[in-house]
Structure 1
Amino acid sequence: MSSQNRKIRIRWINPIAQPHYDEPMGMALKQVAEVGTEVEVISLRSEAKMDNLEYRFYESLVIGDVVKVAKEGDSHGVDAMVIGCFYDLALEDCREICQNAIVVAPCQASMQIAANIANKFSVIVGQVKWIEQMTERAHRYGFGNYLASMRSIDMSANSLQCDTELTTKRIIEAGRLAIEEDHAEALILGCTCNFGLYEKVQQILGVPVIDPLIAAFKQAEMLASMKQNFNLAPSNKWSNEPPSESEMLKFGLHDLSDPIGNRFLIS
């Protein structure tokens, strides 16, 4: 067991070039962080200025930068990182390149938690468009049998925080249908932009409601603590083997531009 008592450092990667999300997300994380946890929210510096990643094409434009941000954090003492999108984009890529930092993502973290407290859960998504890709993730993670349904509230990711009363109302309506018609025993809010809404939904519907921002962050914090206390670092064997430093130098991969746009730090 390690005797280290240094601060835990968690990096939240906002995978779009929209820094106005950084501070409110950072403040939401501060409310649930343990005393002594250092939280850093980073958004990308990118020519592509999407305010959502609802399309695979949009994802493809930021995946490389997300991986570079993860690699940079891995080499600068970050204990754990969260990829702040419920699509869990670039999760496997970031895990491959990180030899020290543990990488988690909201969809997987939320489903792991839901499966510990319910036999069936439903995901409340913004749009029907999201369902196919998120269902793929559920099956990849082994939670296909736990998935009661995915219910859409017909709202885009970039509108979820514009009128939180409307968003909450629609989540409650969809959640009630998921419980009564699909027999869901717990609900997952299927976008990190739903932060701050779970409590009212949970109170009204009477089932566990998982905020993916909280789920992913607390899982990252817990794993970072286990890494610090029990040397539980990422595996780099076999399928998780990263490319060699010599090969990356040969390809000029250490000279790529810095994709970090904005930093919001909370100690």
Structure 2
Amino acid sequence: MPYRFLLVSAFSLPDTAGYRMRAFSGRKQDMLLNHEMLEPLLDGEEWDVHPGAPATHGEWPVETREEFAVTGVNRLKVVREACETGRYNAIVLLGGGDPGYVEAREIGHRHGIAITACAHAQMHAAGMLGHRFSIIDISENHNLRMADLVVQYRMTDRCASIRNLEFPLPRPAHAGRVSVQDESERYRRDQTSDMLESAVAESIAAIEEDGAESIILGCSAAYWLQPVLRRRLAEIGWDVPVLEGYRCAIAQAKMLVDLGVDASGVAFPKDPPPRTRRRKFV
């Protein structure tokens, strides 16, 4: 079956915003962080990018629980409208913190459309590769969002740890601090990065001290670390998978389309449900 994907960014910022990390208009490739990493999965497929619903939390990237909640609600209208067009057989929600994902799956199931998201896809992929994974993440507030997702996705027995690099997103609250964007640009410029060195050290600690057997990256702004972090770990003898969310979510979408499924109608019932249960389990 041919793939017809819509990739939906978490939010969009106006041209005047001072904390833009990607384009929100123009070529679809320019609206994807690290598009060169995704190209092999998307080459030859039908796919579009939605820049994301206009941000109402502020003109900066999302990092706090409040901002994730607001962004998730805003994104549901985009998902609903995309499903109603009938143009797509899967929707991939971009952004490492999965805002609006669970609710979007409910919308998708009403239309028979698979919905995937980055953290959810990474955790499930990691579960196929080993018993336990660790999350390498960017900042204290973002760590707590990832911890919430570990609990929500019932991965507490699989998650060995969440390790904090403390290179936060560029935001007014972090003015004057070195951000993940600063480090990404530095690495692209001269192949050196303090954030990378910290990610290597924390990944080794996750393996040696926490029992991690694979590594996933928490924030989409840090997905640029994936190939170089995996290489650096391999160079010192650690044969450990390192995952990033965009490719995991796209690959998961392909799998669901190939299987002809989107979500369980018991877990995500239609409105109204065709059958109901007297007893639920948690």
TM bucket (normalised to shorter chain) is 0.7 to 0.9
Paired with 2:33 and 2:231, the residues of 1 have a C-alpha distance of 22
Q: 1:148 aligns with which of 160, 165, 170?
A: 160
* Counterpart in the other structure of 2:148: 136
Q: CA offsets per residue over residues 86-123 of structure 1, 9 Å max, x none?
A: 22221111111122211111111101111111112110
Q: 1:89 aligns with which of 82, 85, 99?
A: 99
Q: Percent identity?
A: 22
Q: From the two aligned structures, give the one with the greater strand fraction.
A: 1
Q: Does 1:74 align with 2:74?
A: no
Paired with 2:181 and 2:55, the residues of 1 have a C-alpha distance of 24
- Residues 1:61 and 1:50: Cα distance change in structure 2 (over 3 Å): farther
Give the C-alpha shift of residue 243 in structure 1.
4.2
Q: Which amino acid in structure 2 is aligned with residue 50 of structure 1?
A: E
Q: Which amino acid in structure 2 is aligned with residue 74 of structure 1?
A: C
* Counterpart in the other structure of 2:137: 125
Paired with 1:108 and 1:32, the residues of 2 have a C-alpha distance of 21
* Counterpart in the other structure of 1:201: 229
Higher relative contact order (CA 8 A, sep 6+): 1
* Counterpart in the other structure of 2:11: 16
| 8 A Cα contact 1:10 1:221, kept in partner | no
Paired with 1:29 and 1:13, the residues of 2 have a C-alpha distance of 17
Paired with 2:61 and 2:102, the residues of 1 have a C-alpha distance of 21
Mind listing any 5+ residue stretches in structure 2 that lack a counterpart?
14-21, 25-29, 171-178, 188-192, 273-282
Q: Which amino acid in structure 1 is aligned with residue 107 of structure 2?
A: I
Paired with 1:50 and 1:217, the residues of 2 have a C-alpha distance of 28
Paired with 2:51 and 2:204, the residues of 1 have a C-alpha distance of 35
- Residues 1:24 and 1:83: Cα distance change in structure 2 (over 3 Å): closer
| 8 A Cα contact 1:11 1:41, kept in partner | yes
Paired with 2:205 and 2:270, the residues of 1 have a C-alpha distance of 44
| 8 A Cα contact 1:122 1:178, kept in partner | yes
Paired with 1:125 and 1:30, the residues of 2 have a C-alpha distance of 21
Give the C-alpha shift of residue 187 in structure 1.
0.6
- Residues 1:28 and 1:12: Cα distance change in structure 2 (over 3 Å): farther
| 8 A Cα contact 1:91 1:104, kept in partner | yes
Give the C-alpha shift of residue 83 in structure 1.
1.6
> Normalising by the residue count of structure 1, what TM-score does the alignment of the two structures yield?
0.78
| 8 A Cα contact 1:16 1:50, kept in partner | no
Give the C-alpha shift of residue 132 in structure 1.
2.8
Paired with 2:216 and 2:269, the residues of 1 have a C-alpha distance of 32
Q: Does 1:65 align with 2:68?
A: no
- Residues 1:54 and 1:36: Cα distance change in structure 2 (over 3 Å): same
Q: Does 1:104 align with 2:116?
A: yes
Paired with 1:217 and 1:176, the residues of 2 have a C-alpha distance of 28
> Normalising by the residue count of structure 2, what TM-score does the alignment of the two structures yield?
0.75
* Counterpart in the other structure of 2:180: 160
Give the C-alpha shift of residue 151 in structure 1.
0.4
| 8 A Cα contact 1:160 1:194, kept in partner | yes
Say which SS state the counterpart of residue 66 (structure 2) adopts.
helix
Q: Which amino acid in structure 1 is aligned with residue 255 of structure 2?
A: M
Tell me how many residue pairs correspond in the alignment: 234
Q: Which amino acid in structure 1 is aligned with residue 120 of structure 2?
A: Q
Paired with 1:214 and 1:95, the residues of 2 have a C-alpha distance of 19
Q: CA RMSD in A?
A: 2.3
Say which SS state the counterpart of residue 40 (structure 1) adopts.
strand
